[in-house]
Each structure stands twice: as C-alpha cells, then as structure tokens.
Amino acid sequence: MGSNAVVQGWISRIVGYVIGFANFQTVSPNLPQSIAVLGEINEANQTADLTPTQFSNAQSVGAKYGYGSPMHILARILFPINGGGVQGVPVTFYPQAKAAGAVAKVITLTPTGTATKNGTHTVIIGGRAGLDGLFYDINIVVGDTPTIISQKISDAVNKILSTPVVGSVSLATAVLTAKWSGKTSNDIVIAINNNNDTLGVTYGVVNTTVGSGTPSISSALAFGNTWHTIVVNSYGAETAIMSALEAYNGTPSNTIPTGRFVGIIMKPFIAITGSTIADPSSLTDARKGEVTIAIAPAPLSSGLPMEAAANATVLFALKSQNSPELDIGGQAYPDMPAPLSIGVMGDATNRNDIVKKGCSTVDLNNGVYVVQDFVTTYHPVGEEPAQFRYCRNLMLDFNVRFSYYLKEQQFVVGAVIANDGDIVNSSRVIKPKSWKAEVSTLADELVSRGLIVDASFMKAGTIVNISPTNPDRFETQFPYKRSGVARVVATTAQAGFNFGSIN
C-alpha cells in the first residue's frame, strides 16, 4: 500500500495527510477556529505598521488602521460593542496599504430650498441611519438655507467616529469623501431620508468621484504554520483577489493536492466573500473546481459587501468552533442592512438553481437575512453530490484531520516502529496492529461527535503498514463517510373526510 500524503522517496522527518474523496453510496476536541482578515486601511493611516496583528476589540483596530476603515468596519461586526460576535475565536488582521493611484469615492449632497418648518432629516450611509447608538440626524430649523443645511449634514456625519466617510462643505454642497482610497470605497451608498416631510427642502445626491484601485494581497498570504480556518475577504468578488486566494489555498485531490491542501502543510481555509448583487451565481459558476471561495450573499442590500462577509463569518466561526457537525442554515445575519425585497433569491426555485452554480443563498425573514445554503464555488460538471460543495463538509474534513493529527502526535510521531509480533521494551513504540486499533477508536469517537457515520466502514477500510522501501516510513490509509445534514425535508400527508358508519 502506498500514500501520496508524502512523496515516495522522502527521507527527512515529516508528517503528511491528504483528503481524497469517494462515493460510498449503494473523543477529540473540535478544530480550534482561527480567522484571518484581509482589508485596507484609511488614507490617514497609511504609515501604520502593516505587520499582521491579533485583536479582540474594534476600538483597537480603529485606533491602528483608522475608524471607519474596512478593517474597522469588519471588526465592528466581529466584535460588536453589545457583546456576541465571534466570542473568543482568535482574529488576526492582515492590513493592506492602498494601491498605487487608488482613489476614494466622493459623494455630494446638494440641498435645494429654504426650510419652511422645523424637523429632522437623516443621512443614510451604507443602509444605516447611524452607528454605535448615534444617528446621522440633521436637525433643521425654519429659515435654514442650503449652506446651513450642508454644514449640518457634514457635522452629523463627522460626529460619529466609526462612519466610513468624512464630511466637508463646498459652497452650498455637503461633500462626503470615503476615508480610504480603493475600489471597495465605491460600495458606499448614501441617501437622505426626509422622514416623510420635506420641510421645504429637497436633495440632489451625486457620485462625483468613483472609488478605484485594489491592492495586492500576495504579501499577506503567508500564513506559514498558522492554521487560519476562515479568511474574511473584504474585497468582495474581485476576480484578482479571489484568484489569488484560490491559488494560495489550492485544492484537495486523490492524486496531487495543491496549496494549503498539500499533505505536509494541510492547513486550508475557507475565504468568505460578500456580495450585494441580486444573483451572485454569475460570479461563481465559472469557478467549478475551486473550494476556496464561499459567497456571503446580501442581495440588494445598501450595506457594504464586506459587511455580509463579516456577518457570515460570525455565524460560521461559532458553529465550526462549537458544533462543526451542524450547518448555519436557518441562522440570521446579526448585523446587515436589508431591503424590503431581495429579488430573485427570495424564490425557492431560484435559490435551488443558484446553489447548483456554487453560490450560497439567503432568504428574507422579518427584515433580516436568513442563511439557506452556505457553499463554496465547487460544483464540477457531472459530480453529484459535489464532494466539497458545503462549507460545513469541508470544515468536517478539517476536523477529522485535526482529530487524527492529535492521535498521530500522541502515538506515532517519533515512536520506534516495530512488527506486530515483536516484544519491544521501549517507552514509545508503534506497531501496525496497535495503531490500527487507535484508528478504530477514532472512528467511534468521530461517529459519537456526529462528524461521520458507519464506524465499521472506516475500521474495515483502515490499512496500516511499514513501508517496504523505507524502514522509517509508517503508512496509514482510511476511508470515512461524512454525516449528512437534513437540508431537504420532504413529507407527504394524506387528508380525508370523516364519514359515519353504515349499520
């Protein structure tokens, strides 16, 4: 028996593990979750240290990278001030300085008319009427002119530290400029809510400068021996960014795994990527063989796509940390602006088509997004069921690997290799028979945790031997059947009438 976890002929001390896949249809702790955040910093913070840094609160992130920056926007959702969020899962921030020639988005708000009565209008930034308990309210007084109102708009924006824009006034116009330069700043949407009373004033909202420029993330993609299980991609469905993440993470394979799936590394991740378009499957359908990107959809939201990614990360990180055997289907995004209607994704038939194209889905329930399917872009033609479609299944595979690794470290690595019939007086010895027994125990543990089913199948398929060509090589191979999740529940009920009996 051979194994491709470590290439044949390798003699230096090494441990390898690969995930293969097959169709078998006719108690260890959970893998500790670790989150990596990729994002830009504010224009005013370009001289900040770009060394990856672990944070546990949004205030520290804002102080270093700029309040209202993409890094801080994500941190506010990962570490909300009212508690919750990722609840102790370590989060490391990998900051990027702006790209050369990057431009910040600029929006102008031009009031017209003089106020005829007192009242309040509200600036809506990214679908939000305020942040951190403060509101972008404009308190208008009879006689206020466009110049006065413009100054009040600017003041209302600038009084909130976490806002993603900076307000200023030019003549009789309020000018709101994104705090960071880059294409992602172009996702900021601004409107005015007159609260059903114009007060004699109307507004013209114009995008005068388009945000542009996307930095490279190549230097950030150097995780080394750190197993970040989740990457928060703040750049949305930017082709170059997604391709870079896919190239670095690689793919699992029965023959030649790549990237972080290579046997001697085996520390892959899922990169959660937000989208606010109605049907993001147009972005995922071409990425059929990739397992890295998982779209976090927030169709037709006025919020930022990166906020959707952070929302899905909160749900998925906690579920994976505490109950990796379960899925996040049916859970609501904790903090994402939602519209009155989500368009095509609100229809179950459409969602079925969308998920088949490698795109996650949500529904709208009482004004909040509720996850229906959380999947990677993986959907090769003819492979059904797709082995690595569901993010939960990948995380399940990661947990099997971690559980196996713990036993491997405890019983195998560095031990004296002996034949089954040998009597060895050593404090640390491993034999094929004894190791097969430990793997059998692992099978029972994985079943009890709900990660796999049919322990006897794994036990019967486990093969352990000493390499016939290298006496220092100990080889193991085992199959396992992932447990399923009740995603599709079909029930048929029969109804009839109650007729009296005939005597």
Specify the pLDDT at position 293.
98
The pLDDT-based confidence of 19 (bands split at 50, 70, 90) is confident
Average pLDDT over residues 326-349: 97
Tell me the C-alpha distance between 437 and 290, whole Å: 35
Mean pLDDT across the chain: 95
Specify the pLDDT at position 6.
78
How far from 244 is each of 126, 213, 355, 415, CA to CA, in Å? 28, 16, 23, 39
Residue type, 462: T
Please name each of the domains of the chain with its CATH number: 35-97+215-373 (no CATH), 106-209 (2.60.40)
Specify the pLDDT at position 323.
97
Tell me the C-alpha distance between 7 and 16, whole Å: 9
- Cis bond upstream, residue 305 (ω within 30): no
How far from 155 is each of 144, 259, 503, CA to CA, in Å? 15, 49, 87
DSSP 349: H
Specify the pLDDT at position 13.
66
**pLDDT tens digits, residue range 207-255?**
999 999 999 999 999 999 999 999 999 999 999 999 999 999 999 998 9
The pLDDT-based confidence of 25 (bands split at 50, 70, 90) is very low
Least confidently predicted of 224-228, 393-397, 489-493: 489-493
* DSSP H or E run through 95: strand 91-96
The pLDDT-based confidence of 26 (bands split at 50, 70, 90) is very low
